[in-house]
Structures are given as C-alpha cells and as structure tokens.
Amino acid sequence: MRLVLDAEQQQLRSSVRKLLADHAPPARVRAVMDGEDGCDRELWRRITDQLGLAGLVVPEEHGGAGAGHVERAIVLEELGRTLAPVPFFASAVLATDTALALGDSELLPRLASGEVIGALAVSKTWGPLDVRATEHDGGWTLDGQAPFVISGDIADTVYVHNGDWFAVSEGFTRTTLHTLDPTRRIARLDFAGTPARRLSASDGALARVRDLAAVALAAEQVGGMGRVLETTADYAKVRVQFGRAIGSYQGVKHRLADMYSAYERAESLLRHAAWSADHDAEGLPLAAATTQAFVGPACFQAAADGVQLHGGIGYTWEHHAHLYYKRAKTSELLFAGGRGDLARRLGLEPT
C-alpha cells in the first residue's frame, strides 16, 4: 500500500486542478449555484469528454478508463476543493458503482462516457425505500416516493432500491428540495405507475456501493479541508490586528496547527480506504467506516474554525467560507454519518 501518490497520480491531480481553476472559479460556482438546475453542463462535458473522468473506475471493456479508486479519490478531492457544481458524486460514484455491483452492462457504458447522468435512490440509512413494485404484462412499474436523491433533479436514470433493484428513466416527477447546502442539489422523486427495469443483484451489492460511497464522500471532504486550511492560513498572514498579523498570535497558531494535523490524518485514512477498495475487499467495510467516522466531524470542525478565524467577513454571504461550512455539515450527516456504522462494525453496539 502507498500513502504517497506516484508521478502519474500527481499528474492526474494537476490536470484536474488546472481544469477546475480555469472553468470553476468561485464566481462561476456561485453563478451556477443560483441557476436553474445547479449544474454546470459545460464543466461536466469537459470532465467527461475532455478528461474521461466519469468512467475512471469502470473497466475498459465497458467504456471506462480501468483505473482505481485511489485515482477517483484524487478527482473527488479536487471537486471538493472547489465545490464544483457537477453531478460527479451522484453519477460517477453512486450510480456507476451501483451499475458495476449489479452488472448492468446496458447502462454502464453510458454512465462511463457521461452521456447519461445517473443517481441512486435509497433510504437515508441505506435501507430499502417505501416504493411498491408491481409486475404486469412482463414489465414492472413503481409507486411511492424517494425523498432524498442527490442530483435527482437532473438525473436521466435513477437506480431505485426497495429490497429489489430497479432502474427508471421516465414517468416520475422531481421536486428540488430546499436544503442547507446550496452547492449540492437534492430532490424528492415521486413514482406513480412509473415504468421500471428490474435488475438482479448478488448479496452484498448494496453494502459494496455504501462502502465505496463513504470513501468517495471522504475524498470530497478531505479536498474541502485542504482548501479551508490554505485560505485560512493565507488570511492569518495578512490580516493585521493591534499592529500584528493575526497568525502571530498563539491562539490562532494553535487552531491552524490543529487543522493541519486533522487534515494529515484524514488524508492518510482516505488513502488507506481507497487502496482497500481496489485491493482488500474484506477490509474495505471497516476502512470505509473508520474513514467516515473521523473525516466527517474533522471536516466540519475545520470549516467551522475557518469561518471563525476569518472573523466578521467569514460570516458574510459574499465570502466563500460559509459555503464550505454548509457543505461540511451536510456531508457529515449524509447517509447517517460514520460513527454509528463504525461502532456496529467493532461490536460496540447492537447490529
């Protein structure tokens, strides 16, 4: 296992960072955030067509790049650094991992190319949804509601888990929800006689998707932590109070040192979990739960400290600190958090 990126992985990071620096500056993120669907379609096209990142973990025979989860984590870190308004987490992570786990060769190549934007509808605690499936005339329809679907408002196809697995592409309504984080859209989907394609699944498919989602989310969070640390340290060097840069005060130094220490530990946990996703299937569940148990709260603490150390401007709408704060809080709570899952895996509470 390597905790340090090799030259090729560093090059991948540089390419993605340059793309996002050119096409997803803070002003652009805010403009898209306030737009109609909250998705930067042009940036998504560049990510999928220009760099081929949507199918990074998809085998080459299905149209992907055949890379690994360490590489995908690098991309997610960069997207988390910029809060890039693209459906990568929903489509290139949740939907793509589901397609791989279910062996859905019909949709997988289209997800890998970015031609189709996918999403995943499961309960917040990764259980089945209260959605009724009915078979008739050799086909299936769905009735019910998926209350919490990331990028569900723009997804072309949604995988639905109600105990069985289905894929739907039309015949449902979407309602964009008003949530704390304006940089990540979430929608409620209503099914009423919605045509669905049933998919067979092996035992453990949902658990595999859940564990990989935990790793991917941690990558976004580590990227956000890194950006908050950089901007806050830079500000502490130039903001003068009582004739001295605020970074010269011991109280500020200690807070920044704590942020740096947390970031380093989070990055190490992420590298191990991403490596486990590729090379240690048995160890992945514990690695993923451990990573989320630490990274979620650490990311939020870093974002909260970042707002506070920026003083009064950190609380204003015009400053970006609050966007990282909101993303960190919602990500910490996404999928019910990692501490309870880790406790269950370690036998510290009833399953």
Query: Cα Rg for the chain, rounded, in angstroms?
Result: 20
Residue 351 lies in a domain: no
pLDDT at 236 > cutoff 60? yes
First to last CA, the chain: 31
Over residues 169-210, the pLDDT tens digits come to: 999 999 999 999 999 999 999 999 999 999 988 778 999 999
Judge if 298 and 182 occupy the same domain.
no
CA atoms within 13 A of residue 33's CA, in its CB half-sphere: 20
183 vs 227: CA distance, rounded Å: 16
156 contacts 118 by C-beta, under 8 angstroms: yes
Cβ proximity of 220 and 83 under 8 Å: no
Q: What mean pLDDT comes out for the span 63-92?
A: 97
d(CA 104, CA 26): 37
Of 112, 126, 109, 291, give the one whose Cα is nearest residue 217.
291
pLDDT value, residue 269 = 97
Helix H, strand E, coil C: the string for the chain is CCCCCCHHHHHHHHHHHHHHHHHCCHHHHHHHHCCCCCCCHHHHHHHHHHCCCCCCCCCHHHCCCCCCHHHHHHHHHHHHHHCCCCCHHHHHHHHHHHHHHHCCCCCHHHHHHCCCCEEEECCCCCCCCCEEEEEECCEEEEEEEEEEEECCCCCCEEEEECCCEEEECCCEEEEECCCCCCCCCEEEEEEEEEEEEEECCCCCHHHHHHHHHHHHHHHHHHHHHHHHHHHHHHHHHHCEECCEEHHHCHHHHHHHHHHHHHHHHHHHHHHHHHHHHHHCCCCHHHHHHHHHHHHHHHHHHHHHHHHHHCHHHHHCCCCCHHHHHHHHHHHHHHHHCCHHHHHHHCCCCCC
Task: Please identify, among 93, 115, 137, the residue that sits at the C-terminal boundary of a domain.
Answer: 115
238 in a structural domain: yes
220 and 342 share a domain? yes
- 42 pLDDT exceeds 70? yes
pLDDT at 275: 96
Amino acid of residue 183: T
Rounded Cα distance between 87 and 67, Å, is: 20
The residue assigned the tokens 């920044």 is 256
Q: Please determine, for residue 339, whether its predicted confidence score (pLDDT) is greater than 70.
A: no
**Confidence band, pLDDT 50/70/90 cuts, at residue 314:** confident
In this structure, is residue 2 part of a structural domain? no
Q: What is the mean pLDDT of the chain?
A: 93
Total domains present in the chain: 3
Instruction: Please state the pTM of the whole predicted model.
Output: 0.94
Residues 66 and 11 in one domain: yes
264 and 301 in a single domain? The answer is: yes
Quote the domain boundaries for residue 333.
Answer: 205-346
In a domain, 81, yes or no: yes
- pLDDT for 338: 62
Q: Looking at the predicted structure, is the pLDDT value of residue 281 above 70?
A: yes
Whether 267 contacts 244, CB under 8 Å: no
Q: What is the mean pLDDT of residues 263-278?
A: 97
User: Assign residue 350 a region: left if phi > 0, alpha if psi is -120 to 50, beta otherwise?
Assistant: beta
Does the structure show a pLDDT above 60 at 351?
A: no
Which pLDDT score is estimated for 315?
Answer: 84
For residue 136, being part of any structural domain is answered with yes
Cα(79)–Cα(268) distance, integer angstroms: 19
pLDDT at 81: 97
Q: How many CA atoms does the CB half-sphere of 127 hold within 13 Å? A: 3
What average pLDDT score do residues 275-287 get?
Answer: 95
| Half-sphere exposure at residue 70, Cβ-oriented, CA atoms within 13 angstroms | 19
In a domain, 74, yes or no: yes
Kindly state whether residues 273 and 322 are assigned to the same domain.
yes
CATH number at residue 93: 1.10.540.10
Residue 158's CATH number: 2.40.110.10
Considering the domain architecture, whether residues 170 and 229 belong to the same structural domain is answered as no
Q: Are residues 226 and 292 in the same domain?
A: yes
pLDDT band at 336 (very low <50, low <70, confident <90, very high): low
Q: Kindly report, residue by residue over 96-147, the tens digit of the pLDDT.
A: 999 999 999 999 999 999 999 999 999 888 888 999 999 988 899 999 999 9
- Pick from 160, 178, 199: which residue ends a domain? 199
Same domain, 238 and 337: yes
Measured CA to CA in angstroms, residue 52 lies from 27, 63, 65 at distances of 25, 10, 7
Tell me, yes or no, whether 178 lies in a domain: yes
Report the CATH number at residue 323. 1.20.140.10
194, β-bridge pairs: 142
**Residue 350 in this model has a pLDDT that exceeds 80:** no
Instruction: Specify whether 336 is located in the same domain as 246.
Output: yes
Q: Is the pLDDT of residue 340 over 90?
A: no
pLDDT of residue 126: 85
Residue 1 inside a domain? The answer is no
Same domain? For 181 and 268 the reply is no
62 with 184, same domain? Answer: no
Same domain, 31 and 157: no
Domain boundary among 159, 182, 199: 199
pLDDT tier at 52 (50, 70, 90 boundaries)?
A: very high
